[in-house]
Copies of this chain bind each other. A is one copy, B any other.
Amino acid sequence: MSLVVQKYGGSSVADAEKIKNVARRVAKAKDDGNDIVVVVSAMGDTTDELVGLAYQMSEQPGARELDVLLSTGEIVSSTLLAIALGDMGYKAISLSGAQAGIRTDTAHSRARILGIDPKRLLRELKQGKIVIVAGFQGVTEEMDTTTLGRGGSDTTAVALAAGLKADRCEIFTDVEGIYTADPHLAPEAHSLPEIGYEEMLELATYGARVMHPRAVELGEIFSIPIRVASSFSDNPGTMIHGGMSMEARNKVTGIAHDMDVAKITVVGVPDRPGIASSIFQPLAKAGISVDTIVQNASIENVTDLTFTVAKGELKKAMKVVKPIAEGIGARQCASDSRLGKVSIIGTGMQNTPGFAARMFQALSEEGINIQLITTSEIRITCIIDEASIGEAVRALHTAFELEQAE
């Protein structure tokens, strides 16, 4: 008998009919002879509606109260699924994050899981019950409810799979798996049968948006095989795991993109120690996430420093950076908010220079100007004009022959 943790996202439990559909899928997995733990998100737009209510009360709702408020969304969907399964004749029980033993720190609205105390959960499983756990939430030592922030329910599922030593974790969502590129931009994109954690991480971070990187990381650390599939079909989806076959390596797995990119360039920065820190520490203090950072080789002890932030953060970031730039004697501080990011992802790219060249050539053949380049071991990213992202994704998808289903 296998122990399987399944997670169903908000769009999969958006209304009564969809919850019943999920109940049938869960029942089938149980009938197949597995022990089943199900993690659910809140129904459809519930979380947004609750946030809306909170903001009607205050422009700055207290984080502790907001967490308790939001946690009710997942409790509602978990009880409804348990009721639906009960109606089908299955023994099912819903547990809150607290009851499922998901212990977190006290960082409300973005709590980190400290550990899983699965006593209650294991007891219910032993009684033959299907256990439904409210995702996205945990509990502090004081027994106060916390929420896990972005990707919370994915993280709940993978953390439970790790804590319960589950055989696998299945993330059900509204897409067919992890695609070679966004099918809205590249119609020939297709779902990958498998992908490594690292590549998935890059794809998730750089725009796949199917599964949160935080949950993928957790899966990698605890070696939990994760299947990502649609809750509306029976297709196998994509298996994320560590043991990729040799043949799957040394090739591009997918194309990721991100439209939410703004750039700040500090021009004519004197090249001396401490300069970078004098700019980035105040940004961090202001809570602004800096993404890509590029510093050119300096000429005559003067260099240009460019970095990117989310578009919504640009104004705030400029307010922080401008006075600092003046203070350190930089010549100018320029910004551009109409940018996007396109990346190729694949293992072993760093050892294969041909990938970068082929990427740059494909973009150049479309007449796309590359503004910034960054690379990691398994990713090459170009910052380009926002308007060219669609073309770029399609061109790269073709250039790396991703349209051929494997």
Chain A: residues with CB nearer than 8 A to chain B? 16, 19-20, 50, 53-54, 56-62, 64-66, 68-69, 72, 75-76, 78-80, 82-84, 86-87, 93-94, 96, 98-99, 143-144
Smallest CB gap from A134: residue in B? B68
Closest 6 CB pairs of A and B: A58-B87, A16-B56, A69-B79, A72-B72, A57-B83, A57-B84
**B76 with A62: CB separation less than 8 A:** no
State whether B99 touches A143 (Cβ < 8 A). yes
Q: B residues within 8 A CB of A144?
A: 99
Q: Quick one: which of B19, B59, B86 contacts A87, CB cutoff 8 A?
A: B59
Cβ contacts A to B, 17 pairs, < 8 Å = A16-B57, A19-B57, A20-B57, A54-B83, A57-B80, A57-B87, A60-B87, A62-B82, A62-B83, A65-B83, A65-B93, A65-B94, A66-B79, A68-B75, A68-B78, A68-B96, A99-B144
Report which of B19, B58, B80, B86 forms a contact with A83, defined as CB distance below 8 A: B58
A375 to chain B, nearest CB (A): 45
- A75-B68, A143-B99 as given contacts; A80 in contact with B53, CB under 8 Å: yes
Considering the complex, give the chain B residue whose CB is closest to the CB of A80. B57
What residues on B are CB-neighbors of A53 within 8 Å? 16, 76, 80
Q: In the complex, which of the residues B59, B69, B94 contacts A80, with contact meaning CB atoms closer than 8 Å?
A: B69
Q: Tell me, in angstroms, the Cα distance from A69 to B75 when the chains sit together.
A: 7
Within the assembled complex, what's the spacing in Å between the Cα atoms of A64 and B129?
14
Which residue of the partner chain B has the closest CB to A52? B16
Given contacts A66-B83, A68-B96, 7 further A-B contacts (CB under 8 A): A16-B53, A16-B56, A20-B57, A58-B83, A59-B87, A61-B86, A68-B75
Question: With a CB–CB cut-off of 8 A, which chain B residues contact A83?
Answer: 54, 57-58, 61-62, 65-66, 69
Chain B residues lying within 8 Å of A99, measured Cβ to Cβ, are 143-144
- Considering only CB atoms, which chain B residue lies closest to A69 in the complex? B79
Interface contact A58-B75, CB-CB below 8 Å: no
Closest approach, in angstroms, between the C-beta of A140 and any C-beta of chain B? 12
Select which of B20, B58, B68 is within 8 A of A86 by beta carbon.
B58
Most central of A79, A87, A93, A143 by chain B CB within 10 Å: A79
Q: Which of B72, B94, B98 contacts A75 (CB 8 A)?
A: B72
Q: What is the distance, in angstroms, from A39's C-beta to the closest C-beta of chain B?
A: 16
Contacts of A98 in B (CB 8 A): 143
Q: Is the CB of B69 within 8 A of A76?
A: yes
Also in contact, A93 and B64, with CB within 8 A (given A16-B53, A87-B57, A99-B143): yes
Smallest beta-carbon distance A101→chain B, Å: 11
Q: Are B86 and A65 in contact (CB under 8 A)?
A: yes
**In the complex, A327 Cα to B72 Cα: how many Å?**
53
Residues of B within 8 A of A75 (CB): 68-69, 72
A19-B61 Cα distance, complex, nearest whole Å: 14
Q: What residues of B have a CB within 8 angstroms of the CB of A82 in the complex?
A: 62, 65
User: In whole angstroms, how far apart are the Cα atoms of A83 and B66 in the complex?
Assistant: 8
**What's the minimum C-beta distance from A161 to chain B, rounded to whole angstroms?**
23
**Cβ of A62: which chain B residues have Cβ within 8 Å of it?**
82-83, 86
Q: How far is the CA of A87 from the CA of B57 in the complex (A)?
A: 7
Q: Which residues of B contact A56 (CB under 8 A)?
A: 16
Q: Which B residues are in CB contact (< 8 Å) with A94?
A: 65, 68
Q: List the B residue with the shortest CB-CB distance to A82.
A: B65
Separation of A296 and B307 alpha carbons in the complex (Å): 94
* Residue in B closest to A98 when the chains form the complex, CB atoms: B143
CB distance from A45 to the nearest CB of B (A): 15
| Residue of chain B at shortest CB distance from A67 | B79
Alpha-carbon gap, A82 to B69, bound state (A) = 10
Q: With the chains together, A287 CA to B20 CA distance in Å?
A: 31
